[in-house]
Structure 1
Amino acid sequence: MKPEATTIDTGGIPALTPPARRVVNTVMGFREWCLILILSVIWGGSFFFVGVAVKDMTPLTIVLCRVGFASAILLAVAWLTGRKLPTSPGMWGAFFILGALNNLIPFSLIVWGQTHIPSSLASILNATTPIFSVVLAHLLTREERLTANRLAGVLVGWVGVAVLIGIESLGGFGVEVLGQLAVVAASVAYACAAIYGRRFKAMDPVVVATGMLCGSTVMMLPVALIVEQPWHLAPAAASWLALLGLSAVSTSLAYIIYFRVLAVAGATNILLVTFLIPASAIFLGVMVLGERPGWNAFGGMALIFMGLIAIDGRLLKRFTRRTG
């Protein structure tokens, strides 16, 4: 059965909802935990793939290939599974906005940042997304307000970012510092996308991901062609393989798994991915790319994780229950 068109509370935007709603479980089962682990490895691998591709390809061209190939794959998935994309101009306008916030801006910033910083450091900085999400949700929504533990988590997380960037950056903004700030700015864009993306929560996730990536491709195409003129590039076979992995695995497959876990386990549980992504990214960066993270990378990562634990709150609740 194909999804039916309906109207939900999305600011007047029509949405496609699946025929039956899944029940959201606050406690994840074995399958969901496995999907969380797989997703963390897949998204951690995206930093590795970018680290390979940036050696002989330009940032905007990498982003164009990533969203272009991924949108083609998801269009095929939508067609093979009988899904229909919406035809409303308003809906496609919303897809374009989501694509800019969730793909175009952060992908470009991260890829450019990785031309100047290691993939492992980029993955750690990207883990600050939930920290910015908490702040922006407090400012822009009525549902999620800052609590004491969330505020403490935000402050500890920002200290972690400061440790990662380093005291030496106070002496001047070198290109490496700018690369780190670019990845932090990408995390802010992801946080904005998470808030804006709430209006699509009742839609078929494959349709949302496909529309978003198609919109990103349309926006990215003229930018990459005009700014970088990619026909002058001569990427090696390793770069093409990295692009294939980046688009097929770390984008198309990742979105399908992400929305699967989100539908079954809810938004709070999907936050656990953030704790695991840097581990796989650091492992691949060290073992394959020969990166050597410094003490500040691990110190900053520890502080960011402490902040995320405070924001999530579940471990703190369990600890207080045992000691209470």
Structure 2
Amino acid sequence: MTQKSLSPRAWAELACLALIWGGIFLSVRIALDELGVATVVAHRVVWAALILWGIVLLRGLPVPKDARTWGAFLVMGLLNNALPYALMAWGQLHIESGLTSILNAATALFGVAVAAIAFRDERLTARRLTGVTVGFAGVVLAIGPEALLRFDLRSLGQVAVLGGAFSYALAGAWGRRMLSHLPPLTAAAGMLTGAAALALPAALWLDGLPTGLAAPATLAALAYAAVIGTAVAYLLYFRVLKMAGSGNLLLTTLLIPPVAILLGAWVLDETLPPRALAGFAILALGLAILDGRMWRMARRPHPPRP
């Protein structure tokens, strides 16, 4: 399958999407200074779902009414929103937001492996296997091999983030199998509704009812995470998908960590160990191999010199 060439507009919107998602890690970390993990997740999915359903209705898109589709929404909301949001937010309590973004990039590696198992047309070619292997080597380096041998909170935080990345990969396979017949915006609104149905009771059970108005910085962080980082990001994601194709969306995985690392250093005074940065460089190489465009450029015949 050939990739679409990227126009300047597509590049701009792709970069904008990476900036938005790169900022999610900072906004979630700020909100966690005052609120519990479940409450942050609940705010993010509830408000984003309401916004997207409003747009669905304004555009006159069909609203599913069958129980099978709503059951699929519930599973998709668990795998793509409630569970990974919670795991990654909990992980951010114990590791840097920049490192969280690096480990989140493993979603693409898990996605290739899960798709190869779930779908016949997603064969694990030699190039894909090489990309996944190199990418996971970068993940291991970013974590630190010694972290695999101990179970302190920092190690568990990194494992939680990787668990969230794996959940995203499962969601990709589930969405393709169960929701591909729906308009993307309807599917996004539905899965966020499924996530809200899970996150709201969890927030009330684990964190209880709010006792007062949160601080302005917390409210701003929640607004960014729900409105910009989720609702607007989904709208932009579907625009870029239509404009640039799914293959080019892998580039956002490469662009998000530098944004999150810089924001973490600037706002939170985070400092990542050199090992984490080297691990991201190797992970980025693995993602570039999966992307394939550098390989095709290297194999492209050059015109003979005069």
TM-score by length of 1: 0.89
8 Å contact kept, 1:153–1:308: yes
Partner SS for 2:246: helix
Q: 1:233 to 1:130 in 2, by over 3 A?
A: farther
8 Å contact kept, 1:115–1:179: yes
Deviation string for 1:109-137 (max 9, x for gaps)?
Answer: 01110111111000000011111111111
The Cα of 1:247 is off from its aligned counterpart by 0.3
Within a 5 Å distance, the mapping from 1:162-311 to structure 2 comes to 162-199=140-177, 200-232=179-211, 235-311=214-290
Distance in 2 of aligned mates of 1:203 and 1:295:
44
Q: 1:32 to 1:226 in 2, by over 3 A?
A: same
Distance in 2 of aligned mates of 1:303 and 1:231:
43
Partner SS for 1:120: helix
Partner of 1:19: none
Does residue 26 of the first structure (1) align with residue 26 of the second (2)?
A: no
Within a 5 Å distance, the mapping from 1:74-223 to structure 2 comes to 74-199=52-177, 200-223=179-202
Candidates 45, 50, 59, aligned match of 2:28: 50
Give the number of equivalent residue pairs: 301
Distance in 2 of aligned mates of 1:163 and 1:235:
38
Query: Residue 208 of structure 1 aligns to which amino acid in structure 2?
Result: A
Partner SS for 1:185: helix
The Cα of 1:307 is off from its aligned counterpart by 0.6
Distance in 1 of aligned mates of 2:149 and 2:64:
52
Q: What fraction of aligned residue pairs are identical, expressed as a percent?
A: 41
8 Å contact kept, 2:107–2:168: yes
Which range is displaced more, 211-220 or 193-202? Answer: 193-202
8 Å contact kept, 1:64–1:217: yes
Distance in 2 of aligned mates of 1:237 and 1:322:
58
Unpaired stretches in structure 2, ≥5 consecutive residues: none
8 Å contact kept, 2:148–2:155: no
8 Å contact kept, 1:110–1:182: yes
8 Å contact kept, 1:25–1:264: no
Distance in 1 of aligned mates of 2:183 and 2:266:
38
TM-score by length of 2: 0.94
Partner SS for 2:214: coil
Query: Residue 167 of structure 1 aligns to which amino acid in structure 2?
Result: P
Deviation string for 1:92-149 (max 9, x for gaps)?
Answer: 1111111111101100101110111111000000011111111111111101111111
Distance in 2 of aligned mates of 1:180 and 1:230:
29
Partner SS for 1:268: coil
The Cα of 1:203 is off from its aligned counterpart by 2.4
Deviation string for 1:131-180 (max 9, x for gaps)?
Answer: 11111111111011111111111111111111111133255211001001
Query: Residue 255 of structure 2 aligns to which amino acid in structure 1?
Result: L
Query: Residue 126 of structure 1 aligns to which amino acid in structure 2?
Result: N
Q: 1:233 to 1:311 in 2, by over 3 A?
A: farther
Q: 1:264 to 1:168 in 2, by over 3 A?
A: same
